[in-house]
């Protein structure tokens, strides 16, 4: 191993994957950045509106929250119940055994 300090050899630095990364297109990055900023601003505005509504109508907000939770529970439980019902319906019913013919009487 060499005892030469890194500051004496700045050209010997390791460049891992920096050379292999494609450079982003300036136009594409600006358009994406604008879109992201617009979406972020809209989300913040919507959150502020929702927060104001919750503060002014707390009982309604609780009812809405309970409804959302019930809807999520139903969405999770419904497929399981349908699968259970389908499994019960698909089971073929047992067919009754055919009756055995009566024994013939012996003549006396």
pLDDT at 71 (0 to 100): 94
pTM: 0.38
- Is residue 42, in this structure, part of any structural domain at all? no
Q: Going residue by residue through the chain (108 aa), what tens digit of pLDDT does each one get?
A: 567 776 676 666 666 555 555 565 555 566 667 888 888 999 999 889 888 988 999 999 999 999 999 999 999 998 888 887 776 666 566 676 777 776 767 776
- Is residue 71, in this structure, part of any structural domain at all? yes
Query: Structure tokens of 43?
Result: 């989300």
- Is residue 56, in this structure, part of any structural domain at all? yes
- Is residue 55, in this structure, part of any structural domain at all? yes
Q: Which H/E stretch holds residue 92?
A: none
d(CA 48, CA 54): 10
Residue ranges making up the domain that contains 76:
51-88
Task: Tell me how many domains the chain contains.
Answer: 1
pLDDT at 80 (0 to 100): 85
Q: What is the DSSP letter of 102?
A: P
């Amino acid at each position: 191993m060499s005892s030469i300090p890194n500051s004496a050899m700045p050209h010997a630095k390791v460049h891992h994957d920096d050379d292999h990364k494609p450079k982003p297109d300036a136009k594409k990055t600006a358009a994406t950045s604008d879109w992201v900023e617009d979406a972020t601003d809209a989300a913040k505005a919507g959150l502020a509106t929702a927060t104001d509504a919750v503060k002014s109508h707390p009982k309604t907000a609780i009812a809405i929250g309970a409804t959302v939770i019930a809807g999520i529970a139903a969405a999770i439980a419904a497929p399981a119940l349908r699968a259970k019902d389908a499994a019960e319906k698909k089971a073929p019913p047992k067919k009754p055994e055919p009756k055995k013919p009566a024994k013939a009487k012996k003549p006396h």
